[in-house]
Amino acid sequence: MTGRRVLLIEDEPNIIEAIRFLLTRDGWTVETHSTGSDAVAVVQRARPDLVILDMMLPGKSGMDILRELRDLEELANLPVLMLTARGQSRDRAMAERAGVSRFMTKPFSNVEVLTAVRDLVAQASRQ
């Protein structure tokens, strides 16, 4: 079955472990990366079905990474779920303008993450 590979770009170990455990248990293959500076190259190499991207990363912001992904033709339609500890509407609006697929504020529930991942990959596979 396709649509089962997630790349998680997050620098908080507890969040990495929680999301990896949750998605792996649901049958997903989860790769992780924790710096922003080379994140776009990692996405290009990994070819995931979905990226979960933290907004604040060492090296480069999630917003900059998102913009770079959207500028690359082969990654322009890749589903991106952005996580942020700062849920201000200004951040959400900026992410939406940059082409985010879905935006989620920390802390989030396991059900929220699982539902978002399943929905986004299902939507992408129908395009």
Q: Which residues of the chain have pLDDT under 70?
A: 1-3
Supply the pLDDT for residue 80. Answer: 98
Tens of pLDDT, residues 19-38: 999 999 999 999 999 999 99
How deeply is 78 buried, as exposed, middle or buried, from its count of CB atoms within 10 A (0-12, 13-18, 19+)? buried
Domain spans of the chain?
5-126
* 26 contacts 116 by C-beta, under 8 angstroms: no
Supply the pLDDT for residue 1. Answer: 44
Q: What dihedral do alpha carbons 78, 54, 30, 44 form, nearest 10°?
A: 40
**DSSP bridge partners of 6:** 30, 50
- What is the fold of 5-126? Rossmann fold (3.40.50)
In 10 A of CB 17, how many CB atoms? 12
Q: In what order do the strands lie in the sheet with 29-33?
A: 29-33, 5-9, 50-54, 80-84, 102-105
